[in-house]
Structure 1
Amino acid sequence: MLVAAAVCPCPPLLVPEVAAGAAPELDSLRTACADAVGVLAAARPDRLVVVGPARRPGRGVFPPGAAGSFRGYGVEVDVTLGEPQGAEPAEERGAESSSGGDALLPAASVPLPPSLAVAAWLLRGWRAAPVEGLGVGEELEQQRCALAGRAVADAAPRVALLVMGDGSACRSVKAPGYLDERAGPFDAAVAEALAAADAAALEGLDPELAHALQAAGRAPWQVLAGAARGTAPTGELLYDAAPYGVGYFVATWT
């Protein structure tokens, strides 16, 4: 059962070494993310599952202790997803047979995708519960996202989610996707849904519009929506800005 969730963006620039001289520009975002992770720890979960967008081969389930790196960004920063555990691996729990489809196939033999590597950096020092990762394809259909979320929530009595994903990348002329007038209303709807813990609104996000706006968080947010079915959390929006023309949100559901 889902007992708490936190939503954070996943730009590698969150890691100060990657941002280098621009690191102070995102200090308030890092603080909000740290506060959200603190809320997860306070919920005392049995298991923490990190969900983030991933391209092949980074899709699937990553066990506790899975490794990632930011060396591709020119810095010697390595991370692990929590600490290795003696629990049975995802393959033996039948994750691959879940109705979430290939979103839940084991992926332990590959490095963490960037979104989960950022999450691992946010979770450095985490000791509250075993941590698993789930990399989902950005094109995963709404229904399959919801089914994957339901499977995650049913995996333990007290499950917490750390949901990684950015909003639209089209909020300004200097944004990665240039300016798109639809980006502001799209991100406003996401912020409103996160603030209200409105799972139905997240589940209803249009995948085609999200793709056009380069909103990488759409699928992970819809996994959250599926996990939250049957619960009535209270939402709090901790951060909502687009410092580089990309929508970044931090929120908690408890």
Structure 2
Amino acid sequence: MRSAIAIVPSAPVLVPELMGSAAAELTDLRAAVVAAAQTLPARWVVVGVGDADAVIGSESAGTFAGYGVDVAVALGPGCPQAPTELPLSALVAGWIRGQANPEAAAEVRMYADSHTADAAQAHGRRLRALIDDAADPVGVLVVADGAHTLTASAPGGYDPESGAIQSALDDALAVGDAAALLRLPEWIVGRVAYQVLAGLTEPGPAGARELYRGAPYGVGYFAGVWHP
């Protein structure tokens, strides 16, 4: 059965060890992300975006070594596996799990960034059916970024039109406007994950709560909770 849905960024900057002396700059974001994840029950399904569709089980473990520091994470408690190469969304989910609920088990579902809005929405509907068939409560962690072109130093450079799009995305996530997510432009980094969320919750959640919105380093980050 469906439980809460936490929406968080797919941001390695959440991990203090990767940020060094700049870690304190993101204290508010980090606290909001952990608070959102703490609303979830002990069983998680993580929605992320990658190069291809994939399912990663809760027995998996990984490391942020590729991002500069060997910070180990796991998707489940007592994970027996040695770290393997995991996509960023899975690594971030593993780190959040360790901070918010180390006893939780997280299955990661990656969706290809090439999916159209209709295809992503259909994936969300299928995921909802799977979750609704579960006997125990299942929480969803949506790991996704917004625009990456919000300042001159942003990873994607600066696009003056992206600020308005990011504001509209933040507003949609803050109020639970699932339909608005289906109209996102393709250059929104986490577009497919947000559109899976739209299919998962259509016509929309019963309630939504914003915990954070901002654009540190020129990337749009949102943290919040939707209730089905």
TM-score by length of 2: 0.88
Correspondences of 1:48-127 after superposition (within 5 Å): 48-56=44-52, 59-83=53-77, 111-124=85-98, 126=101
Corresponding residue for 1:37? 37
Supply the RMSD in Å over aligned alpha carbons. 2.1
**What is the rounded CA distance, in whole Å, between the counterparts of 1:148 and 1:2 in structure 2?**
16
Structure 2 counterpart SS, 1:65: coil
**What is the rounded CA distance, in whole Å, between the counterparts of 2:117 and 2:159 in structure 1?**
23
| Residues 231, 190 of structure 1: alpha-carbon distance in 2 compared, 3 angstrom cutoff | closer
Corresponding residue for 1:22? 22
| Residues 245, 136 of structure 1: alpha-carbon distance in 2 compared, 3 angstrom cutoff | same
Correspondences of 1:164-179 after superposition (within 5 Å): 164-179=143-158
Residue 84 of structure 1 and its aligned partner are, at CA, apart by: 6.8
Corresponding residue for 1:161? 140
**What is the rounded CA distance, in whole Å, between the counterparts of 1:123 and 1:141 in structure 2?**
29
The amino acid that maps onto 1:36 is: A
Residue 222 of structure 1 and its aligned partner are, at CA, apart by: 0.7
Q: Is the 8 A contact 1:8 1:33 kept in 2?
A: yes
**What is the rounded CA distance, in whole Å, between the counterparts of 2:103 and 2:127 in structure 1?**
18
Q: Is the 8 A contact 2:97 2:104 kept in 1?
A: no
Residue 182 of structure 1 and its aligned partner are, at CA, apart by: 1.4
Structure 2 counterpart SS, 1:244: helix
Structure 2 counterpart SS, 1:61: strand
Q: Is the 8 A contact 1:32 1:238 kept in 2?
A: yes
Correspondences of 1:150-229 after superposition (within 5 Å): 150-155=125-130, 156-157=134-135, 158-207=137-186, 211=187, 215-229=188-202
For 1:216-239, what per-residue CA distance to the aligned partner results, in whole angstroms no more than 9, with x for missing partners?
111111111111125632111111
Structure 2 counterpart SS, 1:39: coil
Query: Where in structure 1 are there 5+ consecutive unaligned residues?
Result: 86-108
Q: Is the 8 A contact 2:176 2:204 kept in 1?
A: no
Residue 147 of structure 1 and its aligned partner are, at CA, apart by: 1.6
Give identity over the alignment, percent.
Answer: 38
**What is the rounded CA distance, in whole Å, between the counterparts of 2:199 and 2:138 in structure 1?**
13
Residue 118 of structure 1 and its aligned partner are, at CA, apart by: 0.9
**One of 208, 219, 223 as aligned partner of 1:235:** 208
Q: Is the 8 A contact 1:2 1:227 kept in 2?
A: no
Q: Which has the higher strand share?
A: 2
Residue 121 of structure 1 and its aligned partner are, at CA, apart by: 0.1
Q: Is the 8 A contact 2:179 2:203 kept in 1?
A: no
For 1:148-190, what per-residue CA distance to the aligned partner results, in whole angstroms no more than 9, with x for missing partners?
1122222225332100111111111111122212111111111
| Residues 241, 219 of structure 1: alpha-carbon distance in 2 compared, 3 angstrom cutoff | same
Number of residue pairs matched by the alignment = 219
Residue 245 of structure 1 and its aligned partner are, at CA, apart by: 0.9
**What is the rounded CA distance, in whole Å, between the counterparts of 1:69 and 1:127 in structure 2?**
16
Structure 2 counterpart SS, 1:219: helix
Corresponding residue for 1:13? 13
The amino acid that maps onto 2:126 is: A
